[in-house]
Amino acid sequence: MKEQLRELILQAIQALQGDATLPADLALPGFVIERARSRDHGDFACNVAMLLAKPARAKPRDLAEKLVAALPANDLVARVEIAGPGFINFFLAASAYHAELRRILSEGDAYGRHAGSGKTVGVEFVSANPTGPLHVGHGRAAAIGDCLSRLLEATGWNVKREFYYNDAGVQIANLAVSVQARARGITPEDSNWPENGYRGDYIAEVARAFLDRDAVVADGETVTASGDVDDLDAIRRFAVASLRREQDLDLQAFGVAFDTYFLESSLYSDGKVEETVRELVAHGHTYEEGGALWLRTTDFGDDKDRVMRKSDGTYTYFLPDVAYHLSKWQRGYERAITELGSDHHGSLARVKAGLQALDVGIPKNWPEYVLHQMVTVMKGGEEVKISKRAGSYVTLRDLIDEVGRDATRYFLISRKSDSQLVFDIDLARSQSNDNPVYYIQYAHARVCSVLRQAPEKGFSFDLADGLAQLARLDNEHEQILLTELSKFPEIVETAALNLEPHLVAGWLRELANAFHTYYNSHQFLVDDGALRNARLALVVATQQVLKNGLGLLGLGAPEKM
């Protein structure tokens, strides 16, 4: 609908250029067509007259009147009004919404999707250290990253989902000594437990499996335990593989899959870190001071220069991040999006600075970052802070076991990523209208129930006749539902453009509310065949859009509840 209105406005601008009301060499401004906040102000409002008033040397309202007069006739527009300082308000004809309903049923599963460039975008998310089970924060990252990927695919991008494993460094060393201690019979309560050791019960499970010489498969590679408690390197390899495998199983249960698993250790073994250092030095953006090698990140907007290589010869953590993101560029990611917890905010500027210092043509806004805030889990009115198995935090698996995959996904995606989120287990488990995911899925199940009941009650449904009788959809609830359905393509486009999948979650609740209100106010299976067919065409379209929207969030569309 917005595209059609934009085309009408562009034709009106051309007409005014033709009669010299507007300059022929006019630089077209980025005018906006948006949904009117109130039905009294029409369906859509446009600010084009206010943006063109200066080059036209006219008052905005006067120019708006000329633009309206120059609009080509169109059956989809009932009338046009001018409001305030010069807004052009469009009131659409009922036929515009009827055309959109036909489009929904014609396009089916493709409705709401947009053609795109087909360019490649890499979406990195979760990227948890393989030192323990995934916690609820990782779950939020998984939900956000996966929904972002689905939205980008729906808007024409070739999406590559990527998980970056930090399988090198201090935390992995702590994991290895923790498992070794458990294998030797030392517990976290003992005085000689490693100072920074991991204390969860899962460490004991890994230690037992190591002593039993178990084999685990992670990312297609089989790692077999030696059982030798003195071989710390063997313990490390087995522990990392065990926890990678566990994280993979948790993500599978969450409905999340990745195209690429990238290991931090490969950056060292393949010489990518050293290569990155050499390139940075060669481009003249480094200097030595105090025995350390520094990068002039201030040349690229950072608040201070950063150490790359410490005086003891080891690298700071941001350098492998630069090497890793360089590999994304080299692998053909024309766009890169990284989803992280907000606690990583401080490292973003230096990574971008490092990429710019390489001078290989990487755009300044590459990569893009989506940061999420913490999650507070509540149950019985009290905060839940620990899992017995993990020892110090609530795991993703805890939530899935408590409330199911769909409720977990919806709740973790339901708010803007940079907002703190309260996950209420009791609400997520409830089968009530207060539970948004239940409320939305129940709307889909209700449509399915209506369609099952029709033949049971001796009623037929002729879709072709229903589409021919859409003029019978003339009550307020039907108009509201038709309007809500028509918003879906705009919601998808906006959510993808702004990297805000919570917009889809919120809109689905609005659509479900419009349907439930309609359902509670009117009978669908009526004796009047033309009216029945028209109403059933509307509810079938609602079923389709609910299914499409739920799919973008990775949620099921149940037929019975």
122-173 tens-digit pLDDT? 999 999 989 999 999 999 999 999 999 999 999 999 999 999 988 877 889 9
Cα 485 to chain centroid distance, Å, stands at 21
CA distance 500 to 144: 8
408: number of CA atoms within 13 Å, CB side?
27
Reading the block at residue 167, the tokens are 């399988």
CA distance 41 to 90: 8
β-sheet bridge partners, residue 368: 337
Helices 488-498 and 136-154 meet at what angle, rounded to 10? Answer: 120
Q: Say which DSSP state 99 is in.
A: H
Q: 306 by DSSP, 3-state: which?
A: strand
CB 215 within 8 A of CB 224: yes
CA distance 112 to 100: 11
CB 359 within 8 A of CB 322: no
DSSP states along 332-393: T-SEEEEEEEGGGGGGHHHHHHHHHHT-SS--TT-SEEEEE--EEEEETTEEE---TTTSSS
Q: Say which DSSP state 39 is in.
A: G
CA distance 537 to 131: 53
Radius of gyration of the chain (CA): 29
Helices 318-330 and 348-357 meet at what angle, rounded to 10? Answer: 60
Amino acid at residue number 136? V
Give the per-residue pLDDT at 465. 97
To the nearest 10°, report the CA torsion of 203, 205, 207, 208. Answer: 160
Q: 421 by DSSP, 3-state: which?
A: strand
CA distance 542 to 97: 13
| Tokens 């396009």 belong to residue | 107
DSSP states along 106-131: HHGGGTT-------EEEEE-----TT
CB 441 within 8 A of CB 551: no
| Tokens 């709307």 belong to residue | 443
CA distance 423 to 13: 50
CA 70-71-75 angle, to 5 degrees, is 145
CA 486-491-492 angle, to 5 degrees, is 110
CB 402 within 8 A of CB 425: yes
CB 393 within 8 A of CB 135: yes
CA distance 226 to 236: 11
CA distance 140 to 372: 8
CA distance 322 to 337: 14
Give the per-residue pLDDT at 168. 79
Give the per-residue pLDDT at 29. 81
Q: 199 by DSSP, 3-state: which?
A: coil
Q: How many CB atoms lie within 10 A of CB 19?
A: 9
To the nearest 10°, report the CA torsion of 258, 262, 263, 267. Answer: -170
CA distance 432 to 430: 6
Using left for φ > 0, alpha for ψ between -120 and 50, and beta otherwise, residue 559 falls in: alpha
Residues of the chain with pLDDT under 50: none
Task: Outline where 457-487 has alpha helix (H).
Answer: 463-468, 476-486
Q: How many CB atoms lie within 10 A of CB 153?
A: 17
Segment 81-91, tens digit of pLDDT: 999 899 999 99
CA distance 546 to 548: 5
CA distance 26 to 18: 12
Reading the block at residue 363, the tokens are 């755009």
Reading the block at residue 168, the tokens are 């090198």
Size of the chain, expressed as the number of residues it contains: 561
- Phi, psi (deg, nearest 5) at residue 376: -105, 125
Reading the block at residue 93, the tokens are 């004809």
β-sheet bridge partners, residue 306: 295
